[in-house]
A and B are shown apart, each in its own frame.
Chain A
Amino acid sequence: MQNHPVYTDNDPQTVPSTLNLGPTHPATHGVFQNVLQLDGERIISGVSTIGYIHRAFEKIAEHRPFYQITPLTDRLNYCSSPINNMGWHMTVEKLLGIETPKRVDYLRVIIMELARISDHIICNGVLGVDTGAFTGFLYMMEHRESIYEIYEEVCGSRLTTNIGRIGGFERNFNTIAFAKLRKFLKDFPVTLREFESLFNRNRIFVDRTKGVACVTPEDAINYSWSGPLLRAAGVDYDVRAMNPYSSYEDFDFEVPVGQDGDVYARFLVRNEEMWQSLRIIEQALVKLEKEPTDIFHADVPEFYLPPKEDVYNNMEALIYHFKIVMGEIDTPTSEVYHSVEGANGELGFYLVNDGGRAPYRLHFRRPSFINYQMYAPMSRGMLLSDAIINMSSLNVIAGELDA
């Protein structure tokens, strides 16, 4: 710990200064504000203000049929929207009792792991930027672009993907998508290794991050932390391993766990998770070879919108199209909680259904929202510069924070 500067009584700096960190500050990487009381560079206290991009998704969701809620979930964690999309689809499938074919599960796993990599690329790259190293960020960002190109082949969009449908995907993966995926699997490990060699034992980086914002496992659980942050603190809770969904039980992967819960441990955990994601994708590609290549959705015509050309030429497709769009299909009156391992932690969907066209109540358990509440208490006594890199290692995404 650095020495605390001593001021005399008539020194103007004994009066704490107020700093508005945000809402639009380059160091916050998103629209949220922290009002900090500073003694020199040391934070005395802080108050977090959030809600700047609150868009009332839970309220809107009460007025939308299930398939129209997918685009809302895009805008939660927009750095890894496919995980949100598929988490929502799987919630609905759980409610309706839809069993998806293995091939769909594996394709979903590929996309979700790509999304996890793209999210961790940003978080760790930006952590590098905030500690003064721009190079790693640029190297890694190139590969986020290749991930977005794969999304583009699969669903046509890049950031807010709206990927997949209830029951599977809207169309099959084409050969270009697989070619791009294989190219990514070949190129990315090289960059990731280079990135790690730039940072892992870099004296400046380690000095800036090691021992900063240490969190004990008890505190992490007490604050309901999840995801890489919880694992960096030493708790091996990963939804993929604990409550496998989308056939994650078929895959062989490790859950990296840190020790100190500091910024450095979070950085290492995220890097290792990218390696594990690559492993999972490789395995998924092998498993896909044994699956029939023409299956990309479950056979649930009551919930899966038929292809548009069939709607005009095929009576059954027209009927189902009408029924889905008009919300004429009965759904069970029940409640379901389903969670997936989002890039930031446990992304949960609590859906209360009354059999109507739209959910009666839908609540998103948003990991950023829950992880971020420890930020102000833990910043107390920290240097401002440490608080900044602590914030980037929390990887708070404003969309997920505010819903």
Chain B
Amino acid sequence: MGKITNEEVLAKLTAAIGDNFTVIGEPYGLLTLETCRDNITDILTFLKNDTVLQFIYLTDLTGIHYPETEKPIGVIYHLHSLVNNVRIRVKVFLADDDVHIPTATTIWNGANWMERETYDFFGVIFDGHPDLRRILNVDDMTAFPMRREFPLEDPNRVDKKDYFFGR
């Protein structure tokens, strides 16, 4: 397993960033933090550039939607320190009417498409992203389909209406 423990990661992070984040827990050994969008760039930059931690690898960046909460849209970063073999998960939650978050493309080039995907499916606007367009869905789509209220099947489709089946 990892060469440094989650406690050491936390201690280093607290020393550098202060208390600008909260620890959600360690589900299945993976340290999970929550922070706000004003601190996310600082935290990610510190995690990447710290000479001991070296979370240089952005494993994954994705979104999540918890409707009817105060801050329903979440952005989730998974980082991996290849040297220490430790992973960390950082979450940021955003209010529904203000889904802006600073881009991580300034830290990793690889964040580009992952952020485009998150924008495409959750409508998160990554400020400073060089090319924030839809990536998997069609360009003229207006909805953000991975939000919970978006139905799995198109309610407007007519080919499944009862009268086609004599009902």
* A243 within 8 A of partner (CB): yes
CA distance A62 to B145 in the complex (A): 12
Report whether B59 and A346 are in contact in the complex, using a CB–CB cutoff of 8 Å. Answer: yes
Tell whether A403 pairs with B82 under 8 Å between CB atoms, given A58-B146, A224-B57, A224-B58. no
- Contact check: which of B78, B112, B117, B121 meets A350 at CB < 8 Å? B78
A224–B109 Cα gap in the complex (Å)?
8
- Specify which chain B residues have a CB less than 8 angstroms from the CB of A365 in the assembled complex: 59-60, 78
**Chain A hits for B60, CB < 8 A:** 337, 348, 350, 363, 365
Q: When chains A and B are docked, how far (Å) is the Cα of A212 from the Cα of B150?
A: 45
Chain A residues with CB under 8 A of B137: 51, 54
Q: A63-B152, A221-B57, A370-B114 are in contact. Are A334 and B82 (CB under 8 A)?
A: no
* A179 at the B interface (CB under 8 A): no
A50 interface residue, CB < 8 Å from B?
A: yes
**Cβ of A237 < 8 Å from any Cβ of B?**
yes
Query: Once the chains bind, are A373 and B113 in contact (CB under 8 Å)?
Result: yes
Asked whether any CB of chain B lies closer than 8 Å to the CB of A223, the reply is: yes
B interface residues, tally (CB under 8 Å) = 35
Determine the chain B residues whose CB is within 8 A of the CB of A63 once the complex forms: 152
- Residue-by-residue, is A37-78 near B (CB-CB < 8 Å gives 1, otherwise 0)? 000000000000011001010111011000000000000000
Is A348 within 8 A of B28, CB to CB?
Answer: no
Contact with A along B17-38 (1 / 0, CB 8 A): 0000000000110101000000
Most A CB contacts (10 A, CB to CB) among B28, B58, B64 go to: B28
Asked if A337 and B64 sit within 8 Å, CB to CB, the answer is: no
Bound CA span A336–B28, Å: 7
Q: B5 interface residue, CB < 8 Å from A?
A: no
- What residues on A are CB-neighbors of B28 within 8 Å? 94-95, 334, 336-337
| Contact, CB under 8 Å: B136 / A222 | no
Residue of A at shortest CB range from B121? A58
Q: Are A224 and B152 in contact (CB under 8 A)?
A: no
Q: A59-B152, A346-B59, A365-B59 are in contact. Are A50 and B135 (CB under 8 A)?
A: yes
Within 8 A of B (CB), among A346-370: 346, 348, 350, 352, 360-361, 363, 365, 369-370
Docked-complex contact A59 and B109, CB < 8 angstroms: no
Expressed in whole angstroms, the Cα–Cα distance for A334 and B85 within the complex equals 22
Interface residue B47 (Cβ < 8 Å from any Cβ of A): no
CA distance A49 to B78 in the complex (A): 25
Contact A50 to B59, CB < 8 A, known contacts A58-B146, A370-B113: no
> What is the minimal beta-carbon distance from B64 to any residue of chain A, in angstroms?
5
Enumerate the 10 nearest inter-chain pairs by beta-carbon distance, A residue then B residue, closest first: A224-B110, A51-B136, A373-B113, A54-B136, A223-B110, A363-B62, A365-B60, A334-B27, A222-B109, A361-B64
Between A and B, 6 residue pairs with Cβ closer than 8 Å are A51-B136, A59-B152, A224-B110, A224-B114, A337-B78, A348-B60
